């Protein structure tokens, strides 16, 4: 599995403990500094780290069982390019989990969301943006949970799209 935008590897280390003895959790990040911390603090026998851009992943098509992108998508310059790459790299029936921002009131681009973006430097996604983007890319079983200024979205990569979706 791949932990995209892994930062200091706090989740990658946990994933490495969960993938089983033949599994591998690969933490991917664009920052040398973060990866240095990750290799010191969150190494393990089933963990590897790689410096790469989430918008151009150095993995073969359909090579990952699962991809997590936790608190990173809102920092990526072209987040929908990263979603394209997640789609390309996940194998059919592979799962994705995305924890990211939610614009105040759920609406991207209004005054409140622009203020938060200005102060935080993070892109604030609309309530439907990620869900729609995943469906467009052929994901099914899309589930969304929202709370405050965050949203958690999980989905399964289908080859032909469709599936049973829920939104909360
Ligand atoms: C807030 S940290 C989150 C770290 C980790 N996922 C966590 O939850 O602890 C966001 C990370 O995304 C990385 N990042 C930002 N843009 C990226 C890109 N285009 N490709 C890969 N990583 C990126 C940053 O370097 C940073 O380490």
33 Cβ partners below 8 Å, 6+ apart? Answer: none
Tens-digit pLDDT profile for residues 30-84: 999 999 999 999 999 999 999 999 999 999 999 999 999 999 999 999 999 999 9
* CA 69 to each of CA 6, 21, 75, 114, 166: distance values in angstroms, whole numbers, following the listed order: 8, 23, 11, 23, 20
Cβ-count burial of 45 within 10 angstroms (0-12 exposed, 13-18 middle, 19+ buried)? exposed
Please provide the size of the chain in residues: 168
Q: Region 13-37: what's the mean pLDDT?
A: 97
Looking at residue 15, what is its pLDDT?
A: 98
Cβ atoms of 77 and 102 closer than 8 Å = no
Ligand 1 atom having least distance to the Cα of 31: 25
Q: What pTM was computed for the model?
A: 0.94
Q: How far is the CA of 75 from the centre of ligand 1 (A)?
A: 7
Position 48 scores a pLDDT of 98
Alpha helices by DSSP H, the chain? 10-18, 32-41, 79-89, 111-120, 129-136
Instruction: Determine whether the shortest distance from the Cβ of 29 to ligand 1 is under 6 A.
Output: yes
Confidence (pLDDT) at 110: 87
Q: What is the 97 CA–ligand 1 centroid distance (Å)?
A: 15
Give residue 67 CA to ligand 1 midpoint distance, Å: 14
Q: Which two tokens stand for residue 1?
A: 């599995």
| Over residues 9-37, mean pLDDT | 97
Q: pLDDT tens, 102-153?
A: 999 999 888 999 999 999 999 999 999 999 999 999 999 999 999 999 999 9
pLDDT for residue 162 is more than 80: no
């Amino acid at each position: 599995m791949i932990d995209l935008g892994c930062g200091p590897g706090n989740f990658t280390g946990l994933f490495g403990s969960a993938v089983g003895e033949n599994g591998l959790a690969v933490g991917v990040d664009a920052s040398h500094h973060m990866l240095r911390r990750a290799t010191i603090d969150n190494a393990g026998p089933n963990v590897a780290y790689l410096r790469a851009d989430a918008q151009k992943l150095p993995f073969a098509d359909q090579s990952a069982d699962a991809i997590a992108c936790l608190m990173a998508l809102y920092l990526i310059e072209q987040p929908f390019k990263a979603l394209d790459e997640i789609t390309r790299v996940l194998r059919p029936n592979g799962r994705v989990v995305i924890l990211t921002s939610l614009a105040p009131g759920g609406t991207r681009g209004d005054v409140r969301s622009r203020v938060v973006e200005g102060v935080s430097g993070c892109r604030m996604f609309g309530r439907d943006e990620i869900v729609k983007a995943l469906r467009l890319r052929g994901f099914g079983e899309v589930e969304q949970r929202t709370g405050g200024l965050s949203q958690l979205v999980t989905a399964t990569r289908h080859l032909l799209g469709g599936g049973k979706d829920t939104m909360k």
